[in-house]
Amino acid sequence: MEAPTKQDWNAERYQRDAGFVARLGQGVVELLAPRPGERILDLGCGDGTLTEVIAASGAEVIGSDSAPDMVAASQGRGLDARLMDGHELAFDAPFDAVFTNAALHWMTQPDRVLDGVTRALKPGGRFVGEFGGHGNVAAIRTALHEALSRRQQDPLALSPWYFPSPDAYARRLENHGFRVEEIYSFPRPTPLPSHLPAWLEIFAQAFLAPFSENERSEILEEVTDRLRPILCDEEGKWTADYVRLRFAAKREG
């Protein structure tokens, strides 16, 4: 939920049309296995849904996010949430663990993020998370790229996403002093609670930003028509072609 490009995150709309993100992140909390008394950072905490789950374990949790509306929603749950860019983490005391779900793929300078995570962790501290991996929403990206290229826009220059392979991200972790305990990617076809344009209007804003309102409507219609035979079943239910990358690592030293 962190984005270096301009991304308008509305907590109410996100909960309505993308609440599945937190629900499907419960397994990452289980991998974290938070313990009472631990100090844990939730990096890219969003509206605080999973931050609240971690806090219920008895851990002391601080959430960070770059979206003001998401931070306000987390604070509305009674959580300690800070407005902070994931590329510029700065905390006074080290954490026992850093947790992150569905956020790292919005941070397109991963080495800066990992520098901050390393500083935030105690030696031996855990870094556990899940985000979009190589091949994530490949069909959706292909359709978007085609639509933008036809309009003389470079989709790669507009893309707000970073989707690495497990091997590539493992090397980054190791280069920043982490011992990788597990890392893998897996396909996770994800039913959408609404239609595809609602998903695109939340998650593909960066691709649509250069265009007028009328042009955006045309692109949404074009992409939807292109993907209907691929991602929409005969009952009109849409499923996004997600691929997730899940990992657990420890800071050495």
Where do the H-state alpha helices sit in 82-131?
110-120
- Please report the pLDDT score of residue 13 as a whole number: 56
Which structure tokens are listed for 17?
Answer: 């049309």
Token pair recorded at residue 173: 């972790």
Delineate the domains of the chain, giving CATH numbers in brackets.
Answer: 11-137+161-192+240-251 (3.40.50.150)
- Long-range contacts of 23-31, Cβ-Cβ distance < 8 Å, separation of 24 or more: 24/188, 24/190, 25/50, 25/101, 25/102, 25/130, 26/50, 26/53, 27/130, 27/246, 28/99, 28/101, 28/128, 28/129, 28/130, 28/246, 29/53, 29/54, 29/99, 29/101, 31/128, 31/246, 31/248
The rounded distance, in Å, linking the Cα atoms of 156 and 57 is 41
pLDDT for 23-70, tens place per residue?
656 789 999 999 999 999 999 999 999 999 999 999 999 999 999 988
How many degrees, rounded to 5, is the angle at CA 191 between CA 185 and CA 197? 110
Per-residue pLDDT at 194: 86
- What is the pLDDT at residue 124? 96
81, 62 Cβ separation under 8 angstroms: yes
Enumerate residue ranges in the chain where pLDDT < 70. Answer: 1-25
* pLDDT one-digit tens code per residue, 132-157: 999 999 999 999 999 999 999 999 99
CA within 13 Å, CB half, 217: 3
DSSP secondary structure letter of residue 150: T
